[in-house]
Structure 1
Amino acid sequence: MDATTIGALIACVGVVSGSVVTFIGKRGETGITRFNSVTDQVQEELIRKSAELTAAQTEIGVLRQQRHDDLVRMTRLEIEIIRLGGNPPS
């Protein structure tokens, strides 16, 4: 083999190895991009669910207050029934 053939073989090996490195690097980049995309989606879902939870807790607080107010009113009405001489509902 002469120097020209050896040089051509080394150049081919260099081109092939460069292509393999580029291919592997691009696959890694694609994997990282997908991971970042999934992470962003999970964070957005977490923010959305946190907002829904806060709204639900606020609504529960309002309903508890309404229940308390209703129980107070029912108790006052039962006291008024008894004061007027009636029998309170059981």
Structure 2
Amino acid sequence: MDATTIGAILACVGVVSGSVVTFLGKRGEGKNSLTDQLQEELNTERAERKAAQAEVAVLGKSRRKDLIRMTQLEIEIIKLGGTIPDDPD
């Protein structure tokens, strides 16, 4: 084999190996992109869950205040001579 043939063969090997490296790099890039998207969705879900938990805490406090006020009003009704109907539950 002469130098020209060897050079052509080496050039083909270089092109093929470059294509393989590019292909593998794009596959890895796609996986990283998917991982990034999943991480963003996870962060969004965590933020939404924290907001929901905060809202539940606020509603729980409001419920306790309402129950206290209802009990105070029932006591006042009884003091004034009224009766409290039985709770159907």
Task: Provide TM-score, normalisation by structure 2.
Answer: 0.85
Quote the Cα distance in structure 2 between the aligned partners of 1:57 and 1:11. Answer: 68
Of all paired residues, the percent bearing the same amino acid is 42
Q: Does 1:17 align with 2:50?
A: no
Q: CA RMSD in A?
A: 1.4
Q: Which amino acid aligns with 2:68?
A: V
Which residue does 1:89 correspond to in 2? 85
Q: Which amino acid aligns with 1:71?
A: L
Structure 1: which 5+ runs fail to align?
none
Structure 2: which 5+ runs fail to align?
none
Of 11, 23, 47, the match for 1:27:
23
Of 67, 71, 81, the match for 1:71:
67
Q: How many equivalent pairs are there?
A: 86
Task: Provide TM-score, normalisation by structure 1.
Answer: 0.84
